């Protein structure tokens, strides 16, 4: 369904699972898991991989503005702050209170911003394949580990002196190394292209290397930081830094044999770790 935000833009929302579970004569509230996808994709990228989590929580999928089935918006709507504000607005418009927010890649950074904006709204965080501070040296090192010097050099050139040629080389030599499970044709066919202008904006944002680590110590809710053993974009060292910056509220889980998309590369390990975390919210406020 489409939800009209206070900005008058419409955000696409899909729901899987019940908010109230029948237990004899009672209706018992279940946790709500708000799922925020990464850049260039839409909510369909979570499917069918995270669907089993509906046994533990009501799943609320969204398409960010400029992505998927949501309104295109404009350049002012395509910033991390604007996307985080739209998620806050969505919760307000729908009466969604105390969700656990799962953000993947860019979605993880938006989830952190949302928790900082609205600490009384976000009950928990699951930060998947995301970073607090981008580290190009670690990205290059992981590409070297996975694809050798040719892949590392392609990444280095695209980071240090980007051009159409370096972008082509990056997509050819590095992108296939991002995940350990190749994307299927059906998965790619389900995606809705981003709105015109959004891709260029995302590339620009990716080169800004904004550091959230100094801020996120203020996050007070329980947080699961989860990444893949072979993720070039959010390496295990990046995840260690992220969990350390959040502090005692955070715990870290590295998924073996997985890259950038742990729920695809090793679904059972991801589901086990996330289900255990969600169990702590079995009696929502």
Mean pLDDT by 10 residues, the chain (285 residues): 96 95 90 97 96 96 98 97 97 95 98 97 98 96 98 96 94 96 91 95 88 96 98 98 97 98 97 97 67
User: What's the confidence (pLDDT) of residue 60?
Assistant: 98
Measured distance CA(279)–CA(69) in Å, rounded:
31
Q: From residue 88, how far is each of 64, 107, 130 by CA, in Å?
A: 12, 13, 20
Roughly what angle, to the nearest 10 degrees, separates helices 80-94 and 106-117? 60
State the pLDDT at residue 285: 47
> What is the residue-averaged pLDDT of the chain?
95
pTM over 0.85: yes
Query: Smallest Cα–Cα separation from 35: which of 72, 64, 4?
Result: 64
CATH 3.40.50.1820 placement within the chain:
2-134+189-281
Residue 285 to residue 270: CA distance in whole angstroms: 25
Please give the pLDDT value at position 283: 66
Q: Which CATH superfamily is domain 2-134+189-281 in?
A: Alpha/Beta hydrolase fold, catalytic domain (3.40.50.1820)
- Give me the pLDDT at residue 124, please: 98
Select from 132, 94, 155, 119 the least CA-distant residue to 235: 132
């Amino acid at each position: 369904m489409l939800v009209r935000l206070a900005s008058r833009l419409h955000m696409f929302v899909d729901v899987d699972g019940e908010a109230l579970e029948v237990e004899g004569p009672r209706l018992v509230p279940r946790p709500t898991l708000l799922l925020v996808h990464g850049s260039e994709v839409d909510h369909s990228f979570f499917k069918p991989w995270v669907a089993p989590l509906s046994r533990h929580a009501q799943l609320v999928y969204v398409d960010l503005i400029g992505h998927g089935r949501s309104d295109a918006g404009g350049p002012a709507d395509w910033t991390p702050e604007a996307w985080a504000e739209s998620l806050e607005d969505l919760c307000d418009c729908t009466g969604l209170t105390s969700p656990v927010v799962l953000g993947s890649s860019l979605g993880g950074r938006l989830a952190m911003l949302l928790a900082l904006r609205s600490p009384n709204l976000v009950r928990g965080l699951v930060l998947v394949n995301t970073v607090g501070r981008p580290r190009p040296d670690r990205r290059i090192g992981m590409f070297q580990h996975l694809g050798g010097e040719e892949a590392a050099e392609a990444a280095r050139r695209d980071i240090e002196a980007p051009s159409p040629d370096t972008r082509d080389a990056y997509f050819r030599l590095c992108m296939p190394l991002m995940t350990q499970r190749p994307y299927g044709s059906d998965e790619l066919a389900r995606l809705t292209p981003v709105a015109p202008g959004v891709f260029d904006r995302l590339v620009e944002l990716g080169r800004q290397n904004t550091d959230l680590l100094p801020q996120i110590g203020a996050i007070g809710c329980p947080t699961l930081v989860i990444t893949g053993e072979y993720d070039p974009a959010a390496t295990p060292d990046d995840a260690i830094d992220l969990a350390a910056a959040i502090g005692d509220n955070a715990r870290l889980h590295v998924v073996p044999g997985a890259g950038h998309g742990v729920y695809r590369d090793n679904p059972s390990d991801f589901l086990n770790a996330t289900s255990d975390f969600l169990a702590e919210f079995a009696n929502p406020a």
